[in-house]
Amino acid sequence: MTLLIIIIILALVFDYINGFHDAANSIATVVSTKVLTPFQAVLWAAFFNFVAFFIFKDHGVANTVAKTVHKEFVTLPVIISGLIGAITWNLITWWKGIPSSSSHTLIGGFAGAAIAHGGFGAIEQSLVLKTASFIVLAPLIGMFMAFLISVWFLNSFRKSIYPKIFSVFVILIVTWFVYSKIEFKKDLNGASSYSLVFDKKVSKEDLKKALTFKNDADKEFTPILKAAKDSLGNADKTGTKYLLKTDFLKKIGDTTENQKLTAAIIDVVESKKWHVTITKSHRILKNSEERFDESNLKTSFKSYWLKVVFHGSNFKWLLLWFILNIIAVFTLFMSSLNNARSTSWFKRLQLVSSAAFSIGHGGNDAQKVMGIITAALIAGGSIGSFEDMPTWVPLACYTVIGLGTLSGGWKIVKTMGTKITKVTPFEGVAAETAGAVTLFLAEGLKIPVSTTHTIAGSIMGVGATKRLSAVRWGVTVHLLWAWILTIPITGMLSAIIYWIFTAFYKG
């Protein structure tokens, strides 16, 4: 227990260091353009780092980090060694003013200590490779998007109908994309409804745990059963009867498949020594009153639309839609503005774009520490799985990263804000918007990416719209080498720490 507490404290220390180490990423452009003073900028960034707690609810990045190492190799010595290695490298790069990735130090440290413990088979290589690939992809995506946004802005100054048509097209595409991501109430047309009656009282929690297919022949139904567990209602007054609604089967109307699923449900339930009777099993048809199910919308609001807005990841995507559409609508009027007025408006827009990037930074980076703490809680036996993560974990991680951002990292601000390329308000909006979109999309894909790499690539992208020589490629190459070396160096450092630690620790 003592080691577990030390790990949690160290993880939060790492989170704090991450905040001040990466503070520059959120505020470099807004300070460089003099939209905010450094003090105002860190307050702004820290506030929106914490606001991310209320926006990112699916914790996909945290889950990815927690599963970097195979469960049987996740031990407390592995985790603490990885953390110490990551913190050490973070402090070295901060001291030297090198904007390296806190994300990759954490992944590299965790993986390196695990390899020292159990060899290369201890790590989930596909996840590590995916994360490592974004050393290159994150800045490239940020650069490409920032370049496109800058070109879009430049053309919007022209008194021509074509840039306005393009802006309307952007609004429509963003609206379509966000709509496709929003989860509404379930349409259960073609699904099945089961009424399970037990011979004794069974708690809802125990039933949900029991509804897990272990037989390989039944695992094809696992996604269906997961959706059913999410919408499982409460028991009746006797505590013996539950209503279970499945999502779609693969072949709607196939009674043979329905019978297979029914038999599989009975098997897993009765394996717990409970006797169950399915008193009703039928298809939910288009004209059925039970066709639409709102139980998946897990919020405390009574209004259906508020339930939709604040359910799961919905608010995150709606926020992205709002931010991008503010910018797109602004481009419709840019041709009517003179230089002074457009600069003034871009300074206002930069408050929006920097807030969006800070939210993305908090949402991506705080989750990485959440993943480590959750892995430690599982290894220490405090919880059984990632899904059991207590609420205090995300709350603590988002709070601490916000406090770290308040501390700032001024040496790195100078590198990010002035040494790569000089940044104007126009370019600041383009870079931060591109960075925010990249972070939101990466979080949606559950990929832990580097905010450092993302904003650096975005700043390069806006610099390249002037001319390629506007980007100081010597600084860029120096940064790239630091980024590429982060995972292997942190991995080796953590492996050495693990060997030293286990030589003395006999717990």
Does residue 472 carry a pLDDT above 60? no
pLDDT for 239 = 82
DSSP string, 307-341: HHHTSTTHHHHHHHHHHHHHHHHHHTTGGG--HHH
Q: Which CATH architecture has domain 186-293?
A: 2-Layer Sandwich (3.30)
pLDDT-based confidence at residue 408 (cuts at 50, 70, 90): low
Taking CA atoms, 120 is separated from 107, 349, 448, 497, in Å, by 14, 47, 21, 17
Output the CA–CA distances (angstroms, integers) from residue 189 to 256, 280, 289, 352, in the order listed. Answer: 18, 17, 10, 42
> In the chain, what percentage of residues exceed pLDDT 90?
15
209 vs 9 pLDDT, higher one:
9
Q: How does pLDDT run across 356-404, given as a tens digit for each residue?
A: 998 988 888 889 899 899 989 988 888 877 878 888 999 999 999 988 8
Question: Is 238's pLDDT higher than 70?
Answer: yes
- Tokens 């470099």, residue? 28
* Comma-separated ranges of CATH 3.30.70 domains in the chain: 186-293
| pLDDT value of residue 192 | 76
Amino acid at 485: L
Closest CA to 366 of 76, 103, 92, 141: 103
- What are the tens digits of pLDDT across the range 240-272? 888 877 765 555 555 666 677 777 777 777 777
Q: Are 450 and 99 in contact (CB under 8 A)?
A: no
Please tell me the predicted confidence (pLDDT) of residue 8. Answer: 92
Reported confidence tier of residue 476, pLDDT bands at 50, 70, 90: low
Helices (H) and strands (E) in the chain, counts: 18, 5
pLDDT, tens only, 198-225: 888 888 878 887 777 666 666 666 777 7
Nearest to 406 by CA among 445, 358, 369: 358
Beta-strand ranges (E) seen in 151-275 are 186-187, 192-198, 241-245
Which of these ranges, 25-29, 177-181, 366-370, 424-428, has the smallest mean pLDDT? Answer: 25-29
* Mean confidence (pLDDT) of the chain: 81
Q: What's the pLDDT tens digit per position in 43-102?
A: 888 899 899 898 888 788 888 888 888 888 888 999 999 999 988 887 887 777 666 677
Q: What is the pLDDT of residue 420?
A: 46
Cα separation, 264 vs 228, in Å, equals: 14
CA–CA dist 451, 359 (Å, integer): 11
Q: How far apart are CA 471 and CA 479, in angstroms?
A: 13
In the sheet with 276-283, reading across from the earlier edge strand, the strands are: 241-245, 192-198, 276-283
Higher-confidence position of 295 and 316: 316
Structure tokens at 173: 């595409």
> Above 90 in pLDDT, residue 134?
no
What lies within 8 Å, CB to CB, of 148 at 6+ separation is: 434
